Structure 1
């Protein structure tokens, strides 16, 4: 059974800001994105069965990246950390509000917001907070 992760995207203002941040850090367009975290997910096999990392930007899930693999990283302080390697493609999702939390949380597939497809123009026309409010009442 697949499971996902949800993570706050601290310091990022919008989907476009996250996209440009990721592109600036990539060594090549095909190179995987990575996010290093202190804790190693205990549900690793489920994550690697098609899981994604869902990004919370300004209190709203707005994007996801498919998880490719997990790698051990030892910091300069000697502490073992987990690098979450993700496919470089950043996929817009239906907006879904989330309260602040520390670290990451598991996200069940049935609770994950749906992807927004390129033919959907709502992401270009509405601010994220408004789209999230409309999504909560079932309009978007």
Structure 2
């Protein structure tokens, strides 16, 4: 099944790739590798803000991470000239979780992104990963995730 068909089956329509908020590019291609800049948790109703361990549950954080996954795929689609089917595999994700010092479930939060990518992409979505805590993130968002992808 194509990536586009699978996303449609999951009820996901990739939005236009978000524009960068500062002096950087949203993605950089080097050979067949695409590096996608950090995508912040942003859903249909706007930014998803909060701090895990204070005012957000792990489940809410995982939902925020899923929105990052959708933005990562939107950026990748833009990097591929609109052809998401060029994706060979997700190589690596680095996830940042806005969390309290005591919070230790960062991997469970970033699972929201990882689980969605595997559900949407099958084996192409399996990847290496880091999940780390941050005392704050841009605009107060709950999650930011950057990705490395291989394309054809």
Structure 2 length normalisation: TM-score? 0.28
Rg: which structure is higher? 1
Higher helix share: 2
Q: Which has the higher contact order (CA 8 A, sep 6+)?
A: 2
